[in-house]
């Protein structure tokens, strides 16, 4: 008996169940193709940016806390950093336009002035002190403060504006050394007892100039690639939709509950900083 060999065409092979189970995702008929307009990586990027935007819209900070570690799972860091900075600038600009009436220029100015004084010191620390030791110490301080704030909510309130210089100075040191300028400003806001809208407004007023400097730095370093703008372009509709949905939710958060959310987010930041210091 002769064995009849059937020569399958390329199309038949691609449609076979065994091929579909073994082929890489990019080769699936319904899968992602790197040369196509939309792939599964882009879908994941959009989802992460939407989640980060929701956190920033509700709390006023924390988008990098969500976006940076998740995007780094499937994108190179040279793409992650400018992408997060660009989408954060869009989010921050819209939030600033929404809350500018609550913006206190005196407080914001003092925070920025303090940060300007602290940033050069941070750059020096980056050169002379071990990063792991400083980040781990910072993580312990932030986690301890936030844990205490959650268990003992009656904290001493800062009534005068002198604390803005101190908070901005510390933020400048940490921002210049390790790009971690958010926690000191958030802690200062809770100690001042700012209302949620004012809290978000002042944080945007502080972060916006810093974000502009980051964008300029990325541009000068040649990090604005076609890939970055493609991911940002696909993320923009989801980002705007998320902000539209979160706007009424943000207004419904009572001040006491808002402080709890802030400290929970700070504790998550501390855990990530500690992990970065130990790994």
pLDDT tens digits for range 189-226: 888 888 888 888 888 898 888 788 788 888 888 888 99
- Percentage of the residues of the chain whose pLDDT score is greater than 90: 19
Q: Which residues contact 86 (CB under 8 A, 6 or more apart)?
A: 215, 228, 232
Return the pLDDT at 62. Answer: 81
Q: pLDDT category, 4, cuts 50, 70, 90?
A: very low
Enumerate the domain spans of the chain.
35-278
Average pLDDT, the chain: 79
**What does the pLDDT read at residue 165?**
92
The reported pLDDT for the residue numbered 105 is: 84
Q: What is the mean pLDDT of residues 61-90?
A: 86
pLDDT band at 179, cuts 50/70/90?
low
Q: Quote the pLDDT of residue 21.
A: 41
pLDDT bin (cut points 50, 70, 90) of residue 235 is very high
Q: What is the pLDDT of residue 273?
A: 82
Among positive and negative, which fits the CA dihedral 136, 137, 141, 142?
A: negative
**Nearest by Cα to 215 from 199, 232, 203, 198:** 232
DSSP for 95-143 reads HHHHHGGG--HHHHHHHHHHHHHHHHHHHHHHHHS-HHHHHHHHHHHHH
How far apart CA 59 and CA 48 sit, in angstroms, is 17
CB burial string 114-148: b at 16+ within 10 A, e below: bbeebbeebeebeeeeeeeebbbebbeebbebbee
More confident residue, 70 or 36: 70
C-alpha to C-alpha distance for 188 and 260, rounded to whole angstroms: 14
Q: What is the pLDDT of residues 20-38, one digit of tens each?
A: 344 443 343 333 444 455 6
Please give the pLDDT value at position 30.
Answer: 32
- Residue-wise pLDDT for 98-147, tens only, equals 888 888 888 889 999 998 888 888 777 766 777 787 778 878 888 887 88
Range name among 16-20, 89-93, 212-216 with the lowest pLDDT average: 16-20
């Amino acid at each position: 008996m002769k064995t009849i060999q059937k020569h399958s065409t390329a199309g038949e092979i691609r449609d076979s169940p065994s091929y579909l189970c073994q082929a890489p995702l990019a080769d699936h008929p319904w899968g992602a193709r790197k040369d196509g307009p939309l792939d599964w990586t882009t879908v994941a990027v959009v989802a992460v940016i939407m989640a980060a935007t929701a956190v920033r819209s509700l709390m006023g900070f924390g988008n990098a806390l969500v976006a940076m570690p998740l995007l780094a799972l499937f994108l190179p860091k040279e793409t992650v950093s400018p992408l997060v900075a660009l989408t954060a600038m869009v989010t921050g600009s819209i939030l600033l336009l929404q809350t500018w009436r609550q913006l206190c220029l005196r407080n914001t100015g003092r925070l920025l002035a303090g940060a300007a004084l602290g940033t050069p010191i941070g750059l020096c620390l980056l050169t002379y002190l071990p990063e792991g030791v400083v980040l781990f110490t910072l993580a312990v301080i932030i986690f301890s403060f936030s844990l205490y704030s959650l268990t003992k909510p009656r904290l001493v309130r800062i009534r005068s504006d002198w604390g803005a210089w101190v908070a901005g100075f510390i933020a400048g040191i940490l921002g210049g050394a390790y790009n971690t300028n958010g926690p000191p400003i958030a802690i200062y806001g809770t100690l001042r007892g700012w209302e949620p809208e004012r809290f978000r407004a002042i944080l945007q007023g502080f972060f916006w100039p810093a974000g502009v400097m980051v964008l300029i730095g990325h541009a000068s370093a040649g990090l604005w690639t076609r890939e970055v703008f493609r991911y940002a372009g696909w993320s923009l509709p989801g980002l705007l939709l998320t902000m539209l949905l979160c706007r009424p939710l943000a207004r419904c958060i009572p001040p006491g509950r808002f402080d709890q959310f802030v400290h929970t987010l700070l504790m998550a930041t501390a855990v990530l900083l500690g992990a970065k210091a130990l790994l």
